Amino acid sequence: MALTNDEVLGGLAELITDETGIAAEEVALEKSFTDDLDIDSISMMTIVVNAEEKFGVTIPDDEVKNLKTVGDAVTFIVSNQS
Amino acid sequence: MTTPVLTQAQGPAHTRIYAYGAARGELVVPNDDLVGPIDSSDEWIRQRTGIVTRTRAVAETDAIDLATAAADEAIATAGIDPALVDLVIVATISNPRQTPSVSAIVADRIGANPAAAYDVNAACAGFAYAVAQADALIRGGAARYAIVVGTEKLSDVVDPTDRSISFLLGDGAGAALIGPSDYPGISATVWGSDGSKADAVTMNATLTQFRDGEVPWPTLRQEGPTVFRWAVWEMAKVAKQALADAGIEASDLAAFIPHQANMRIIDEFAKQLKLPDTVVIGRDIETTGNTSAASIPLATHRLLQEHPELSGGLALQIGFGAGLVFGAQVVVLP
């Protein structure tokens, strides 16, 4: 069954906390990965790979560059769930 | 008239590494020396790469000098007469003179003339590629004792303003003497390439473009996040295959010695392999930087100096880099 936006946001927040230590409540849709959450490119890629596994989606390298905000990532994952 | 039957070469059943040698650039370059042109900081570099200093060679020292010093040490430590070395393989991407090969000159300098000698261009997998070849050529009877060297003077191909890879790179050479053995000392190699990702790590221009005044001196570039994903998650599969082909488990390892690309890659890689705490991990990158083909033997040499108890233990080594290319095998540490 496809996950909702809120469920994906919650799951993504867990992955971000695991990788960076950022509190889950800091992870909101409008937050920028780089400017607001200060997540560097290597941590971002670790989160992407873990998100692929957790949500069963494929996130190509070229697509990662377009995921500027947490909301971008949630939208991509929700719309690409198998 | 009967047709004469050819004699084909046949070598020993097993090979092993007898000894390592190392040479690093004379200069210790701290992060603070490089941060200006990339508008960065010591903290930024440490956080993203784990590098505190990198060693770089002075202008008068080239990759051939570094290779010679490392090979001399490996031969001396092994206690083998250099005249018995009949194969010299040098892995390098940074010698600014395409021909003659680095290996032929090194063979002569170390007293191994007229050994068979050739260079390997497999970037950061070069040492693993060269070990695979030396092992196969000795077991096939084409050689008896081989010197395998990874050597780089990468400081000749860096751009001080590049934020992708230049600040990671260092100069050095690592060598191993490989010869016949009574027991299996080098496992099957898992190796390969993916040229569809040729642009992920690459020189940013050709020498002919430079000659024609179209571009500045060509230097290295990489797509960091792409390389990170490939280097950890794809290479973890290769590493696991190398363990399986060697017939061992991760818990059998004494050491894990990946190419010293970036400390973040090494840490995540170790995590993916679920290595037990008993496995010592090569982390030479912290003070030597990324030396491409030289990084695995340099890290191994250092581990053996700092942990002599590792001698006789099993080490998984894996190289991966520009090509993209990769190579992994398990070796018994001398």
Does any CB of chain A come closer than 8 Å to the CB of residue B196? no
pLDDT for the residue A62: 86
- For residue B68, which of B31, B22, B33 has the smallest C-alpha distance? B22
Distance CA B127, CA A33 (A): 38
Instruction: State how far residue A44 is from chain B, nearest Cα, in angstroms.
Output: 8
Catalytic annotation present for B31: no
pLDDT for the residue B60: 97
pLDDT in tens, B171-229: 999 999 999 999 999 999 999 999 999 999 999 999 999 999 999 999 999 998 889 99
pTM over 0.90: yes
Least confident of A64-68, B9-13, B19-23, B285-289: A64-68
ipTM over 0.90: no
Q: Which positions in chain A touch B226 (Cβ < 8 Å)?
A: 61
pLDDT in tens, B135-165: 999 999 999 999 999 999 999 999 999 999 9
Instruction: State how far residue B195 is from chain A, nearest Cα, in angstroms.
Output: 16
Domains of chain A: 5-79 (1.10.1200.10)
Average pLDDT over every residue of B288-294: 97
Residue A1 has pLDDT above 70, yes or no: no
Q: At what angle do helices A70-79 and A5-20 cross, to 10 degrees?
A: 130
Nearest residue of A to residue B265 by CA position? A42
Contact between chains at B233 and A49 (C-beta distance less than 8 A):
yes
Instruction: Return the structure tokens found at B148.
Output: 């395998």
Of B47, B226, B232, the CB nearest to A61: B226
User: Does B271 or A82 have the greater pLDDT score?
Assistant: B271
Backbone angles phi, psi at B257, to 5 degrees: -125, 85
Interface of B with A in 217-256 (CB under 8 A): 223-226, 228-229, 232-233
Q: For residue B74, what are the CA distances in angstroms to A68, B178, B194, B205?
A: 50, 10, 32, 36
Distance CA B74, CA B282 (A): 19
CA torsion sign for B194, B199, B202, B208 is: positive
CATH topology of domain B14-181: Peroxisomal Thiolase; Chain A, domain 1 (3.40.47)
**Strand-strand pairing, B325-332 and B280-281:** unpaired
Looking at chain B, the domain(s) classified CATH 3.40.47.10 span: 14-181, 190-332
Residue A41's pLDDT band, with cuts at 50, 70 and 90, is: confident
Instruction: Give Cα B231 distance to the centre of its chain.
Output: 15
Residue B96 has pLDDT above 90, yes or no: yes
Contact between chains at A42 and B223 (C-beta distance less than 8 A):
no
**CATH pick for B190-332 out of 3.40.50.10490, 3.40.47.10, 2.60.120.560, 3.40.50.2000:** 3.40.47.10
Distance CA B45, CA B157 (A): 19
Catalytic annotation present for B259: yes
pLDDT in tens, B214-238: 999 999 999 988 899 999 999 999 9
